[in-house]
């Protein structure tokens, strides 16, 4: 599928759009090996991530020979764009756009919701489940992540783009990055471009593919950012993870709850790429991997020994 002469620009964006549509289609498994070989290149991951963001906004992806319209998700219904003074009533409060370039207010997601929000400066913030952001876009572009996880695709602008998360301050320079703030600490993962993370008086620049995590007062640098590149599409990648960890990730989305019928199942090792926001797809796949059976009853999906 990949033409070596089409490595950058519009051609790469079209190629990423085609892969994104294909991997969400009914024949995704047929193409998985070829897709994973293509996705291994950093520039391909970055392009695929941008296609994911466009999908989240419910836009049209241009393909050869015309347009391919991807299905809109529920989280795209509240996206607001335009230069006129408009407003958006989000899950967490009122978001006001007072002319293009200025924006103040709160935006949030419910449990199980992933939603992309168009910011007044042309940037995009994609909120994971149970995430809350405070926006102050004016003379400086400032965002506070109060809880949860968000991906930022930052539009070029003379104004600084700054994200606060706990004690950390992230300054972005035309980039794509994730910020997480939960009870266990904070994390910043860079997918494209350049960011600087300031914490406790020290400045920590990140390169694409790097992540920095703060827990119990200590900062740890990692190279795992690309593993989470597809979370805006509800997809997570695990490498030798405990089955209990996979179940825990899925249960962040609900509304059905996945449970393991027996503590002996918790330590089974799982590797692969999974859609964690759809338990009706995830449970049968896990069951096939380990020879388990699936039992569903009143919002609870149990995995048990066959």
CA distance 96 to 86: 7
Measured CA angle at 183 (ends 179, 152), to 5 deg: 10
**Domains in the chain, CATH or no CATH each:** 9-69 (no CATH), 74-228 (2.60.120.1440), 234-305 (3.55.50.30)
Q: Which two tokens stand for residue 118?
A: 């168009």
250-288 pLDDT, tens digit each: 999 988 899 999 889 999 999 999 999 999 999 999 999
Question: What is the helix (H) or strand (E) element at residue 106, kind and residue range?
Answer: strand 103-108
What pTM does this model have? Answer: 0.69
Integer angstrom CA distances of residue 115 from 128, 129, 137:
7, 8, 19
Residues 233, 271: contact at Cβ < 8 Å?
no
Whether 90 has a pLDDT exceeding 90, the answer reads no
Give the pLDDT band of residue 133 (cuts 50, 70, 90).
Answer: very high
What backbone torsions phi and psi does residue 162 show, to the nearest 5 degrees?
-125, 130
* Range of weakest confidence among 50-64, 77-91, 154-168: 77-91
Give the pLDDT band of residue 29 (cuts 50, 70, 90).
Answer: low
Residue 256's CB: how many other CB atoms inside 10 A?
Answer: 17
CA distance 86 to 40: 41
């Amino acid at each position: 599928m990949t033409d070596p002469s089409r490595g950058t620009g519009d051609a790469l964006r079209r190629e990423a759009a085609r892969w994104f549509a294909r991997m969400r289609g009914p024949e995704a498994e047929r193409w998985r090996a070829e897709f994973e070989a293509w996705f291994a290149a950093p520039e391909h991951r970055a392009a695929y991530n941008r296609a994911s963001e466009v999908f989240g906004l419910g836009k049209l992806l241009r393909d050869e020979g015309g347009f391919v319209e991807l299905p809109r998700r529920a989280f795209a219904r509240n996206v607001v764009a335009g230069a006129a003074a408009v407003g958006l009533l989000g899950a967490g409060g009122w978001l006001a756009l007072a002319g293009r370039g200025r924006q103040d207010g709160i935006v949030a997601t419910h449990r199980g919701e992933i939603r992309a929000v168009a910011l007044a400066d042309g940037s995009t913030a994609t909120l994971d489940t149970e995430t809350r952001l405070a926006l102050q876009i004016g003379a400086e572009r400032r965002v506070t992540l109060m809880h949860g996880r968000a991906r930022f695709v930052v539009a070029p602008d003379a104004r600084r783009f700054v994200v606060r998360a706990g004690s950390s301050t992230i300054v972005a320079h035309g980039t794509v990055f994730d910020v997480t703030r939960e009870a266990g600490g904070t994390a910043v993962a860079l997918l494209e471009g350049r960011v600087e993370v300031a914490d406790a008086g020290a400045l920590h620049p990140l390169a694409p593919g790097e992540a920095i995590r703060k827990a119990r007062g200590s900062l740890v640098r990692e190279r795992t950012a690309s593993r989470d590149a597809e979370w805006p599409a509800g997809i997570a990648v695990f490498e030798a993870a405990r089955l209990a960890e996979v179940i825990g990730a899925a249960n962040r989305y609900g509304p059905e709850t996945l449970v393991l019928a027996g503590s002996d199942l918790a330590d089974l090792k799982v590797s692969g790429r999974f859609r964690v926001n759809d338990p009706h797809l995830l449970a049968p796949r896990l069951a096939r991997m380990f020879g388990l059976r699936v039992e569903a009853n009143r919002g609870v999906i149990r995995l048990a020994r066959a």
